[in-house]
Structure 1
Amino acid sequence: MLINVGFNGLETSLGELDHILLDAGFVRWAWDYEHATYDYKLEDRATKATFYLRVQAHVVKGDSLDHDTILKLEEPYIGKHLFPHGIDYQAVVPSSISEAAKKKLNSVKDKLK
């Protein structure tokens, strides 16, 4: 499920993005010479299901992923964790989870400006 909060096309440095997202509780799981991926874990207490909010950014300027590399963000998306290590991006996301995700992302977006 795509979460449209206005991230698409925003540009920032890797250093700034790392600082803001890591402070917000995200973890940078994947990175290479072309992109970085950050995840935030959300748990639905009612169903005991785990969801992951994912933010991806792609390199637009810079040779490698150093602090000065400029990244362009995509709209975040959310998926339900499948045991042992899969994610279902087509799963129904409870409104409490999507609202918590939007709140988290809006907080991050405010800091990116």
Structure 2
Amino acid sequence: MRFENTGLETLLIELDRLDETMRNHGLIRAGQWDWERVTYDRKFEIREGTFYLRIFGYTEDGDVGAHDADIKLLTPLLGKHYYPHGVEYGEGEEFPSHLVQTCEKILVALYQELSLITE
């Protein structure tokens, strides 16, 4: 499931500040990065299954490994985890409305905080 028009995809944020802000909202980068891309995840283990709120980002001219990058965020996704295959985001997936509402609240708060950083 894609969360369109969150405003996050309009932001360009310095990596270390982004890591800190994402962590404050429960989104963790951990080992999910390479030299020009990052992925932030928040895991939800609920009665209906295991889900991930996931936000991807990339840099055009920085180095993520050296913590010297400005990150452009992409459209946030919500996916359901299926063992052992991985996370599915497809249109055929059903997402609990309470989870979607929680994710929307997180994304609004995240955008508000990140947009203050970029001003």
| Amino acid paired to 2:81 | H
**CA apart distance, 1:9:** 3.0
The equivalent of 2:70 in structure 1 is 70
Matched, 1:7 2:11: no
Q: Work out the percentage of aligned pairs sharing the same amino acid.
A: 36
Q: Which residue of 2 aligns with 1:31?
A: 33
Q: Is 1:56 paired with 2:65?
A: no
Task: Choose from 93, 96, 110 the match for 2:95.
Answer: 93
Query: For residues 61 and 106 of structure 1, what CA distance do their matches in structure 2 show?
Result: 28
Q: Which residue of 1 aligns with 2:17?
A: 16
Aligned counterparts of 2:58 and 2:110: Cα–Cα separation in 1 = 18
Q: Structure 1 length normalisation: TM-score?
A: 0.88
Pairs aligned (count): 110
Which structure dedicates a bigger proportion of its chain to helix? 2
CA deviation string 1:86-113 (max 9, x = no partner): 1111111111111100101111111101
Scaled by the length of structure 2, the TM-score of the pair is: 0.84
Amino acid paired to 1:61: D
| More strand as a share of residues | 1
Q: Which runs of 5+ in 2 are unaligned?
A: none
Moved over 4 A (4+): none
